[in-house]
Amino acid sequence: MNNTELLHLLHSEVIPAIGCTEPIAVALCVARAKELLGELPETITVSLSKNVYKNAFAVGIPNTGMTGLPIAIALGATVGKSEYMLEVLRDATPEAVAYAKEYMLRVPAQIHINYDAPSILYIHAKVSASGRTAQATIMDEHTKFVENNEAKGERREVKDERLEAKGEALTLRRVYDFATSVETSELTFLLEGAKMNTAAAETSFADQYGHGLGRLLRANTLSATPEMHRLFGDTLFTKIISYTCGACDARMSGAMVPVMSNSGSGNQGISCSIPVYLYAKENHCSEEQTLRALALSNLTVIYIKQSLGRLSALCGCVVAATGSAAGITYLMGGKYEEITYAIKNMIANISGMICDGAKPGCALKVTSGVATAIFSSYLAMQHSVADSTEGIIEEDIDRTIRNLTRIGHDGMQVTDDLILDIMTHKK
């Protein structure tokens, strides 16, 4: 893939989003169906793949103080605008939310899990009013609308053609070469995205969101109480963790703040940008170094996700933090060899972390991923690396990455079913 194609790939995968992308994508689909109907629906039925349902089950919806699909669907029907894409609920003012809550009680949505959905990311919305019906379908990507007849048939594996161009497969080496050679003026949107995500973290420090780990770490770091100072200190390590999990705290709990997402996930965008940005800022790295590190981090995530899939039983923070490990290693002075070491160290460590849906607890997983990324980078710079005698690690870095994604995509299918069964049968 040439630099122009990779820039296009970055621009298509690193985009702003408000709220967790699965319920937001459901709201987007309902909004499109409502627009096709031309009036407020009197009935709403949505059919979702199991992974979409899992990730929309318990996460906060922006500006509502509520969690889950019913309010997201109601907002999509009443105030959502499909032209806003993953910012579909941008106009969810307090007045609009109050109306949506009343509408939700009058027009309760019928929500079904489609266990035979043709894609792991599948959303179908059917609405009706005045004797007329309209439908919309999203499949494969959070903002990809398809014709209804395209969404029928047997389940299929989606081959992402963006992985290849003109016969040349994307590899980590190609990712590295791009990040270290592309004209940096083309990358400024990544820096703006990192600043956007950092601002989301600062929102979380001002109030209680989720489990409040980011706020707790930041407050105690600043006040430097003796106990917390002994445990964490006023360090860059603590700052990186507090900001990254703080941004996750805010968005998982429904704060009305935009974040720059990566591969359809705000948490992935947060986890692959904030650690790199703060490390660069605190170490007085140049803007060029920062931009190249952010490109390396974001594109590494995109590369891994395109063989793993948009949604899986493997937690996305593993992938996103792996991107951060690559970016931080670059900022430490690492070259391609050290970056491969950092990625191998990541895969040797937290490759088994499951995704049990989007929720406030995602901030805890983000914390684990980011902390491991920093450890992995420091080990890599000492040329300490998990080698091919260890587990799923191979000499070839691309084969090592494929081993990880094979486990997440193929090996954890039963795990995914079991997670959903547990989530939907709690007492």
Burial of 165 (0-12, 13-18, 19+ CB in 10 A): middle
Q: How far apart are CA 72 and CA 62, in angstroms?
A: 9
> Which pLDDT belongs to residue 18?
87
Residue 28, H or E segment = helix 21-37
DSSP bridge partners of 314? 354
What CA–CA distance (Å, rounded) separates 310 from 350?
19
Higher pLDDT residue, 211 or 161? Answer: 211
Q: Which residues pair with 259 in a beta bridge?
A: 17
What's the pLDDT at 223? 58
Evaluate whether 416 touches 50 at the Cβ level (below 8 Å).
Answer: yes
The helix (run of H) or strand (run of E) holding residue 218 is: helix 213-223
- Residue 210 CA to residue 118 CA, distance in Å, equals 34
* Residue 167 in this model has a pLDDT that exceeds 70: no
d(CA 70, CA 342): 42
111 Cβ contact partners less than 8 Å away, ≥ 6 residues apart = 45, 46, 48, 53, 69, 70, 73
Q: Which two tokens stand for residue 235?
A: 């360090």
Q: What is the pLDDT of residue 224?
A: 54
Q: State whether the Cα torsion 334-336-339-341 is positive or negative.
A: negative
DSSP state, 260? E
Q: What is the rounded distance in angstroms from the CA atom of residue 228 to the CA atom of residue 386?
A: 33
Length of the chain: 427
Judge contact between 114 and 47, C-beta under 8 A: yes
> What is d(CA 230, CA 232) in angstroms, rounded to the nearest whole number?
6
Coil/strand/helix, residue 52? helix
Token pair for residue 93? 């003012």
**Side chain identity at 106, as an amino acid letter?**
R
Predicted pLDDT at 216:
85
> pLDDT tens across 19-58, in order?
889 999 999 999 999 999 999 999 999 999 999 999 898 8
Per-residue pLDDT, averaged over 206-211, amounts to 88
pLDDT at 145 over 50: yes
Instruction: Report the pLDDT averaged over residues 354-373.
Output: 92
Place of tokens 């919309």: 136
Above 90 in pLDDT, residue 147? no
pTM of the model: 0.89
CA neighbor of 299 nearest in space, from 333, 324, 330, 329: 324
> Could you write out the DSSP letters of every residue in 133-173?
EEEEEEESSTT-EE-GGGG-SS------GGGEETTEE--HH
Residue 358 DSSP label: S
Tell me: pLDDT of 346 over 50: yes
User: Average pLDDT, whole number, for the chain?
Assistant: 90
pLDDT in tens, 112-133: 999 999 999 999 999 999 999 9
Of 237, 257, 235, the residue nearest 247 (C-alpha): 257
Cα end-to-end span (Å), the chain = 51
Q: Which has the minimum average pLDDT: 119-133, 209-223, 337-351, 391-405?
A: 209-223
CA trace torsion 148, 149, 150, 153 (10° rounding)? 120
Q: Give residue 364's pLDDT.
A: 93
Percent of the chain residues past pLDDT 70, beyond the cut: 93
pLDDT of residue 218: 83
Kindly report, residue by residue over 68-89, the tens digit of the pLDDT.
899 999 999 999 999 999 999 9
Q: What is the pLDDT of residue 228?
A: 67
**pLDDT recorded at residue 254:** 87
Residues 130 and 92: beta-carbon distance below 8 Å: no
**CA-to-CA distance for 320 and 373, rounded, in angstroms?**
9
What the chain holds in terms of domains, given with CATH numbers, is 20-151 (3.30.1330), 162-424 (1.10.4100)
Burial 20-35 (b: 16+ CB within 10 A, else e): bbbbbbbbbbbbbbbb
CA atoms of 218 and 196, how far apart (whole Å): 18
The residues, ordered by sequence, that sit 6+ positions from 160 with a Cβ below 8 Å of its Cβ are 306
- Can you read off the two tokens belonging to residue 25? 């994508």
Mean pLDDT computed over 178-191: 97
| Mean pLDDT score, 342-358 | 92
Supply the pLDDT for residue 160. 43
The sign of the CA dihedral 413, 417, 420, 422 is negative
